[in-house]
Structure 1
Amino acid sequence: MINRLFGEYAQQWLNSREVVEGTRKNYRISLNLYWMPALALLPLDNITSVMLRKIVGSTPWTSPGVKRSAIQRLITLFGTAVKDGLIIRNPAEAIELPAKTKKPIDPFTVAEANAIIAHLYSSLTHSMRIYAAYFEFAFYTGMRPSEMAALRWEEIDKENRVVNVCRIVADYKIEERTKTRNSRQVMLNSRALHAIEQAERVAKQRAKPSRRKQAESPFVFPPTKNFEFIQQASVTDKHFQAALTALNVRTRRQYNCRHTYATICLMSGMNPSFIANQLGHSVQMLLSTYARWINSSSDWHEIRKLEKNMACTNLPVHSDYH
């Protein structure tokens, strides 16, 4: 076998990965921060599971999620080295992974969502009203923030009431893909259409001769200053959090706008397959993520189906015990 150093191989492995630049950057940061200081100058076949456990045990991980990701990336790297015939076994596979944690799902009620939207429309003026339209659209389409930030007017079909979701903002850049790699069409309800109409009004205001400093934007929800498209969540979050404070609504991440739409749809008794398609989820992911919000009002209807089927069966005869 060729005696390759970990640092040399890790760089070659990273360069060969067919991933988007943002993912490559995350891999590079993880390798440089957690593994390269101790392993870079060691031959691959000298690295043992015991050695890796010591590194894991002595590292001040910022969270279980960060720890899990760093170990998973190392497992993948060594797995490729095994396939390349450089080592016989993967020493990272013996490291126990922390349990996978999910960010809490904490949707708003319909009343809260409507109050937030109304407050934004009433408190924001002129071009700033684009953020009110943004959050109305977020609450009533369930699109991901990264998808909304990259949404162009050419993807809006008002006549057929659909929007084509085909790109995202990632690492401050437009990526011609979605998170799941699959484009999809989201159907627009009346509230989503209202948000689009409000965004159109803002665009017309921006295009007036007196406002030429703000050029026409190809994006549906352009920020009011500096950039062509929304590059990071803080641009919209300051308006969102200000609305929650003003309304005395419990503070939550703006990503819960998406969760709100999903739970509203589920509690309305809509078809899970349809909802999953609209959100860009698998049905399994939808049901596992939002199980608590599946409409319980239909539960007794399901029990009645069982009772009807059992009606033709005989009740068991119980003996008296003395």
Structure 2
Amino acid sequence: MGVLNSRNGKLVLQFRYKGIRCREQTQLLDNKPNRNRLERLLKNIEAEILLDSFDYSKYFPNSRSIKRFVEISQRELASKQYFDSPNSPKFEEFAKTWLLEKQIEWSKGHLMVVEGTIDKYLNPVFGSKKISAINKAQILQFRTILAKVPGRNGGFLSPSRINHIMTPLRMILNEAADRYDFTSPWKNIKALRIPRTDVDPFSVQEVEKVIACAPEEFHCYLTTRFFTGMRTGEVNGLMWKDVDFTKKTINVTQSLNRGEVSTLKTPGSYRTITLIDRVVDVLREHKLKGNSNSDFVFTNSNGLPLNYKVVARTMWYPTLVKAGLKKRNPYQTRHTYATLLLASGESPEWIANQLGHTTTTMLFRVYSRFIPNLTREDGSAFEAFLQNGAQQ
């Protein structure tokens, strides 16, 4: 029960709220009218506490205790949400169900990647927890721990890798919250900022050196990669039915990932690439020499589709060493094709189509410094334009 006390001639209210003793100093003088007034106020406070409708800030808007009780209320809400979802399973159990449901949506390769992420990173931390009890603080703490995990090249996990680990966690928590009627803890958690794409293309001279130093059986493979800009999965999954020697084109319709043929990354990735004569010639020669029993253009010695990890380890990086060039990942062949096209003055719209981009936005964002008219900062392009009578 609340009581009134006096301090320095002014009244002080004392009462208990959420098991905590509260003292609020007033500016009212200690006299009978003021005591009667505050006794009525105390009765209202106690009644509202009993009915669980008491709002501390309503009665004492300037009190230092407000913050404390807000934090208590938030913890109580989280606890209430936990117990309001009595049927919610543990994280590991729900993750298995979620993965089974995703089988119809995802390729086998992507499913394996996500499953590996859950097994390696998520289950050891969240697996035994009730999924409705996982909170924002735990999520952020987990992300902080990831930033200290050693990476492949002696450093730590990159922001991009951390985001890829956090993505299935976000999807699982949001889906579980929807099914078991609790509030998802994933609120205002933004993805880590990813540094600008590492574009480190080869020069024309370096391209020739790489092809010359590679094993002969990979000359066609590398020529195709460097002069079509196809992604690793696209070139490894290329089939002869998609090569048109008459029209000098390649139809990019599928990708090979982890030994499985799958759909492409985006709708815009489905495209027709116009080939230069050099690529047409090496593909014709390759077909005459190659394994005629395989539908795939590029195969290993056993006639099976290429494994990108094996190719990178046994051919790509050893070839760079032999050529005396710095280490760069195979994806730089795609960047090389894009920058060579830009340097030659080809239309950005046509280049975007060749690469499988629906617009030129990414082209300008990623390769802006390789576009001559964008990297020239001395005004010479504008001057030449005016001297030419403003004629294109």
Once the two structures are superposed, the pairs formed by residues 283-298 of structure 1 within 5 Å of their partners are: 283-296=360-373
Moved over 6 A (4+): 305-308
Equivalent in the alignment of 2:30 = none
Q: State the secondary structure of the residue aligned to 2:256.
A: strand
Equivalent in the alignment of 1:220 = 297
Q: Which of these residues, 10, 27, 52, is aligned with residue 95 of structure 2?
A: 10
Give, in whole Å, the separation in 2 of the partners of 1:96 and 1:174: 33
Shift of the 194–241 alpha-carbon distance from structure 1 to 2, 3 Å rule, reads farther
Once the two structures are superposed, the pairs formed by residues 155-304 of structure 1 within 5 Å of their partners are: 155-175=242-262, 177-181=263-267, 182-203=269-290, 216-224=293-301, 226-235=302-311, 238-282=314-358, 283-296=360-373, 300=379, 303-304=382-383
Deviation string, structure 1 residues 1-20 (Cα, Å, up to 9, x no partner): 54302233222222222222
The residue identity in structure 1 corresponding to 2:265 is K
Structure having greater relative contact order (Cα 8 Å, sep ≥ 6): 1
Once the two structures are superposed, the pairs formed by residues 13-28 of structure 1 within 5 Å of their partners are: 13-17=98-102, 18-28=105-115
Once the two structures are overlaid, the 10-residue window that deviates more, 95-104 or 188-197, is: 95-104
| TM-score, normalization by structure 2 | 0.66
Deviation string, structure 1 residues 142-168 (Cα, Å, up to 9, x no partner): 111211111111111111111111111
Shift, 1:275, TM fit? 0.7
Q: Whose strand fraction is larger, Structure 1's or Structure 2's?
A: 2
Shift, 1:307, TM fit? 6.5
Shift, 1:173, TM fit? 1.8
| TM-score, normalization by structure 1 | 0.80
Shift, 1:96, TM fit? 5.0
- Which structure's CA Rg is the greater one? 2
Does 2:198 correspond to 1:104? yes
Q: Is the 8 A contact 2:108 2:260 kept in 1?
A: no
Equivalent in the alignment of 1:210 = none
Shift, 1:304, TM fit? 4.4
Give, in whole Å, the separation in 2 of the partners of 1:171 and 1:103: 24
Unpaired runs of 5+ in structure 2?
1-83, 152-156
Once the two structures are superposed, the pairs formed by residues 15-164 of structure 1 within 5 Å of their partners are: 15-17=100-102, 18-59=105-146, 60-61=148-149, 62=151, 63-64=157-158, 65-84=160-179, 86-88=181-183, 90-95=184-189, 97-101=191-195, 104-120=198-214, 124=215, 129-164=216-251
Shift, 1:188, TM fit? 0.7
Give, in whole Å, the separation in 2 of the partners of 1:144 and 1:184: 12
Q: Is the 8 A contact 2:132 2:177 kept in 1?
A: no
Q: Is the 8 A contact 1:137 1:191 kept in 2?
A: no
Shift, 1:23, TM fit? 1.9
Once the two structures are overlaid, the 10-residue window that deviates more, 291-300 or 165-174, is: 291-300
Equivalent in the alignment of 2:81 = none
The residue identity in structure 2 corresponding to 1:9 is F
